Amino acid sequence: MENKKTDFSEWYNEIIDIAKLSDKRYLIKGMNVWLPYGLKIMHSIDSLLRDYSEESGIEEVSFPVLISREQLEVEFEHVKGFENEIYWVTKGGTNPLDIDLALRPTSEAAMYTMFPLWIRSHTDLPFRIYQIVSVYRYETKHTRSFIRVREIHFYEAHTAHKDFEDAERQMEEYIKIMNRLADDLCINFSMDVRPDWDKFPGAMYSVAFDTPMPGSRSLQIGTIHEYGENFAKNYGIKYLDDEGNMNFVSQTTFGLSERLLAAVIGIHGDDKGLVLPYKLAPVQVIIVPIPGDDYEKIISYSGTILQKLKSQSIKCQIDEREYTPGYKYNDWEMKGVPLRIEIGKREVEDNTLTLSMRTRRKKIKISLDELNNIHSYLQAVNEDIKKHSSEFYDSNRVFIDNINEIKEDRMVTAYWCGRKECSDRIEALSEKTALGAVRGMDKSGPCIVCGRPGKISAFSRTY
């Protein structure tokens, strides 16, 4: 494999191919084929999102993929933000359609035409739904698996509330979900309030979750948006309050995509291959029998271990392929399996097993009874991944107080006044774009460009 530190781009492409996560050879650019192993990892992320959404009172729905031009054009600012990215359907067979239909770039226009049918009274609020679907955007930049594609695997939550204050509480709930998910994925991120010119079309404000990646760029792995009444006024989403008055709802959204998987691949992987947090791993424990005398006993003993693991809801397999043990070790390490169990003649005789953790070199010999403690070893792998991830995050962010340091080959934080003129100056000098003011950092200082009062803000080259 390519060395990750010297050529991250080639390493990233190679590991996706070798681990068989997706196949980009499909004949439409930017629309890749999800392969079984990659899809299982993504489904694990989806499963976590489903659990956390349901616990937060957000229920799953599924909307049609097609949106009419009429629906889209209700909210002009919103559709204008996507007008160069929309795929249009203009024929049904050989017959021109009465009205053009779009493949959803996102689902505001689809959902919000239905909200007035469902929301009538204050008793219907708060109203919270989400879906995990494909959305379609005509991406003209260089496509890259899981990072920049034309068919996006998308989680989107949409909520409606009686007032702005309740909507703001929902924004905090989104952040709690994101924190829980990031902990499972062992990823650190910055929350950056996007500048007005880069917020989601139609939003009052947008907060993005940004994380540094190898290759001196950052990746936006999710966003939350406060809409206020902007969409409600265009789509006529009102409710009758307890005093008999009609009011517009206040709305929010939360969006995530397979960029989460890209971050896991890029931040945790090494020159051996993937490194997967255990909740994402399609195989959490792989059992490798070592050929030798009494091989039937070795296989039988391996089966006993398999059943003990399955009784603890561990995703596990026995590798009985006709390859050498060394080949199997390398293959499963490349796939990021957290734990490997090696079983040979000696292990059978001693009622033990040899355990290898993906994040450590030293092997551990444990008794068969200690399998009941297998979750502690999985958690230890996660703790190793988190430690590495935190160190990577800290070493790839730097605060600067001098414009001459803006070319620093990392994500940069600095005081910034928020004006586009100063952002453009920074981009001209460094190719770094303004990610926005870092949420939760209220300390102020002189803008690094013009000297006006500024907030601590993030800048980076982005994917």
- Which among 238, 268, 269, 265 has a CA at the least distance from the CA of 251? 238
Between residues 152 and 73, the one the model is more confident about: 152
Give mean pLDDT, residues 303-330.
97
pLDDT of 83 reads 82
Burial grade of 293 (CB within 10 A; 0-12, 13-18, 19 or more) = exposed
In angstroms, rounded to a whole number, what is the distance separating the alpha carbons of residues 209 and 45?
16
In the predicted structure, residue 106 carries a pLDDT above the cut 70? yes
3-class secondary structure, 434: strand
Instruction: Say whether pLDDT at 27 is over 80.
Output: yes
Number of Cβ within a 10 Å radius of residue 283: 21
pLDDT band of residue 141 (cuts 50, 70, 90) is: confident
Question: Residue 91: in which H helix or E strand, if any?
Answer: strand 87-92
Each residue's pLDDT tens digit, 348-383? 999 999 999 999 999 999 999 999 999 999 999 999
pLDDT tens column, 57-81: 999 999 999 999 999 888 666 677 7
pTM beyond 0.85, yes or no: yes
> Is the confidence at residue 279, as pLDDT, over 80?
yes
- Residues of 360-377 as b/e, b for ≥16 C-beta within 10 angstroms? eeeeeeeeeeebeebeeb
Write the CB contacts of 356 (distance below 8 Å, at least 6 apart in sequence): 329, 339, 340, 341, 342, 363, 364
Query: What is the reported pLDDT for 56?
Result: 98
Give the tokens for residue 54: 């349901």
376/385 Cα distance (integer angstroms): 14
pLDDT value at residue 72: 87
- Which is more confidently placed, 306 or 292? 306
Averaged confidence pLDDT in the chain:
96
When pLDDT is averaged across residues 413-438 and rounded to a whole number, the result is 97
Q: For residue 43, what pLDDT band results from cuts at 50, 70 and 90?
A: very high
Q: Is the pLDDT of residue 410 over 90?
A: yes
Cβ-based neighbour number of residue 286 at 10 Å: 24
CB distance 455 to 437 below 8 Å:
yes
In this prediction, residue 1 carries a pLDDT of: 65
